[in-house]
Amino acid sequence: MRILGDRILLFVFALLSTVLIAYFFWIDQPVVSLFPIGLMLIYFAVYQTEKLFLSIALFAPLSFNIEEFNQSFGLYIPTEPLLVGLMILLSAIQLKKPFLDNSIWKHPIIITFCLYIIWVLISSITSSHVLVSFKFLLSRLWFFIPILIFGTHFFKKEENRIAFLWLFVSGAFITIIYTLLHHAQYGFGEKEGHWVMYPFFKDHTIYGAIVALVLPLAWALYFYKKQSVLVQAVLILMIGVILLGLYFSYTRAAWLSIIIAVAVGLVVHYRINFKLLIFIGLVALTTVISKWDSIEMELARNKHEHTTESFNERFQSAANVTTDASNLERINRWNCAISMFKDRPVFGFGPGTYAFEYAPYQEAENLTIISTNFGDLGNAHSEYLGALSEMGIVGLLTFIAVVFAIFYSAVTLYHNYSNSDRKNRVLVMGMILSLTTYFSHAFLNNYLDTDKAAVPIWGMCAMIVMMGLQQKRELSFSNPKLRI
């Protein structure tokens, strides 16, 4: 009873803290109406903690940012209040009565992410906007702690792993249906395709990224095991709708990320020799360098615009660095990020500060019709260059280390499952493909500060961590020589 009482008090405290913060920044709204929902959440937190954790996967694609309504304070509802509450609740329980598997702290994904978070803290202290950077750190923690750290506990159960993926795919499916129906009212026009996903997504680029991310997960659920005819029909319908959503997202980076994911999947599955890949890469690089003049002339002749509705022309426009405003603005942001890094190469300007600092680094020849002199249009359009400009070279290296650890662990996990363990191989391959879509997309955009991307990505990482630990124990049990 004492533990139950502590849980109630802790979650009430977390919920009320979140509501008070929201009220402070959103004072003209009827916050009192949130209390019935709050009472229901308290019940689930106390009696159904596991189900509340899993429900975040469903809410993430369906959440909306209150900043769209109040223009002063960003908070994704309902996911971030739930994540804050779970972070406080589960951390307190862990301190009082530890329940996490201590082996997770030795896993490469957890180790590298902890190093990354430590550097986020250090670079926040030296930040040009300390409050902005500490808010960035806090937002990373309320994704990292409940989803990646405590997720390893909930994902010990196979059924929870499948439920989490089903819920996320289902939530995304609902938003895709909504977007397609809304888009159909405008004849699936390209211009309308930039905002018809509102209020669930702020624009077509993040929408396209999440649609691409969810496609391999739906595929994995279909092939995971022999399903009933009804479940097969539902999944086929979902995959078809997701493909339609991907096409009508008019997001070139999302289309390209799927192609890259398929290529990576083939390399992983067929164990293509790494040396052969390096050789092919060197040959390709040498060819590009030797033919650069011709390539540059061809790029200059490319006048395809991203505003076209034709799939072929829109895809070709990805290489248009002469007249395509979207591409040119992205290059402008990248140049700003590199210039910012040169000014502060070690600590950067501070996590989350790019939008406040990049304006003076814009050069006149790089400005486009969508640039602003105030530099108030957002981020670096790259997870990697964003980390470089905001946290310096160490920030970039720690982030790359996290990405490397994720793929190294996932690929090792995949190959260590025997061919007879079809279920786990399919599930891990689905996650490898899904993660590939995002981290290849991350060269062109950055969305890890949103619940849409952070929840599924860190959720999949938590699954990889726990499945890896379980696999290691099974291998150690079956082969006494491997026991420590």
DSSP result, 189-229: -TTGGGTTTTTTSSSHHHHHHHHHHHHHHHHHHHHSSPPPH
Q: What's residue 212's pLDDT?
A: 97
Q: What pLDDT, on a 0 to 100 scale, did the predictor assign at position 2? A: 46
User: Which of 49, 58, 44 shows the shortest CA–CA distance to 163?
Assistant: 58
The confidence score (pLDDT) of residue 69 equals: 64
Q: Give residue 24's pLDDT.
A: 44
Which alpha helices (DSSP H) does 203-324 contain, by range?
Answer: 204-223, 229-247, 252-269, 274-290, 292-301, 311-316
Q: Which of 79, 18, 74, 67 is nearest to 453 (CA)?
A: 79
pLDDT computed for residue 113 by the predictor: 96
Query: Domain residues of the chain, as ranges?
Result: 1-99
State the pLDDT at residue 264: 93
Q: What is the pLDDT of residues 257-314, one digit of tens each?
A: 999 999 999 999 988 876 777 777 777 767 766 665 565 555 555 555 555 555 455 5
- In angstroms, the CA 120 to CA 114 distance is 10
- pLDDT confidence of residue 25: 45
Q: Determine the pLDDT at residue 11.
A: 52
DSSP state of 144: I
Rounded Cα distance, 423 and 416, in Å? 13
Angle in degrees, 0-180, between the axes of helices 79-96 and 49-62, rounded to the nearest 10 = 150
- The residue ranges of the chain whose pLDDT is under 50 are 1-4, 23-33, 311, 315, 319-321, 482-484
pLDDT number for residue 315:
47
Contact 24, 70 (CB under 8 A): no
Chain-centre distance of CA 253, in angstroms? 14
Q: Can you tell me the distance from the alpha carbon of 63 to that of 54, in angstroms, rounded to the nearest whole number?
A: 15
**The pLDDT of residue 376:** 54
What is the structure's pLDDT at 373? Answer: 59
With a CB cutoff of 8 Å and minimum separation 6, the contacts of 54 are: 154, 160, 163, 164, 167
